[in-house]
């Protein structure tokens, strides 16, 4: 039975350490992207009367179409927002030691910051060709004599 009073949700805003690494699962060819995200915070030290910046690193993994999006649009230093869940895994290493990793399983990624590329470079279709105003009808809107009853919706 699921506990309705629990929630596993993470929202991070930070900068990418490097371009994501994209791999494909052997049997299903499903893409998976992995990357590190840095979040910064200012920590005040009253003894020194100064603030210092502290970075926290997060391992992020994305699956499927989101992984393909990461490979196409994410670059080193890019600021992004990641929404997801915390996942922890434990396994036995080859040397017999027990290993544990905690990562963020991304469910949504939003690009933040300035747009660095032109629209064509990021896969957005170029705008339609300019319209010649001489070819436009003189009355582009319906006449005032039409009523709402004549509109099909």
Domain containing 55: what range? 10-150
**pLDDT tens-digit readout, 62-102:** 999 999 999 999 999 999 999 999 999 998 989 989 999 99
- 6 pLDDT band, cuts 50/70/90, is confident
The reply to whether 22 falls in a domain is: yes
The number of distinct structural domains making up the chain is 1
The pLDDT of residue 114 is: 75
The pLDDT of residue 14 is: 93
**pLDDT tens-digit readout, 121-139:** 333 333 443 444 344 444 4
The answer to whether the beta carbons of residues 21 and 70 sit under 8 Å apart is no
The pLDDT of residue 3 is: 67
The answer to whether the beta carbons of residues 61 and 71 sit under 8 Å apart is no
pTM of the model: 0.66
Closest-CA residue to 84 (of 58, 104, 56): 104
The reply to whether 112 falls in a domain is: yes
The CATH number for 91's domain is: 2.40.50.140
Closest-CA residue to 35 (of 79, 2, 73, 74): 74
> CB 75: neighbour CB atoms within 10 A?
11
The pLDDT of residue 45 is: 87
């Amino acid at each position: 039975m699921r506990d309705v009073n629990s929630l596993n949700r993470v929202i991070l805003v930070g900068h990418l350490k490097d371009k994501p690494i994209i791999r494909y699962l052997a049997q299903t060819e499903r893409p998976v992207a992995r990357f590190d995200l840095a979040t910064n915070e200012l920590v005040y030290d009253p003894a020194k009367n100064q603030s210092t910046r502290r970075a926290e690193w997060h391992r992020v993994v994305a699956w499927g179409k989101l992984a393909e999006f990461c490979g196409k649009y994410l670059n080193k230093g890019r600021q992004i927002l990641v929404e997801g869940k915390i996942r922890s895994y434990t396994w036995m290493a080859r040397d017999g030691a027990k290993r544990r990793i905690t990562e963020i399983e991304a469910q949504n990624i939003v690009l933040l910051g300035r747009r660095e590329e032109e629209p064509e470079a990021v896969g957005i279709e170029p705008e339609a060709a300019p319209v010649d105003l001489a070819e436009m009808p003189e009355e582009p809107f319906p006449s005032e004599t039409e009523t709402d009853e004549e509109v099909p919706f």
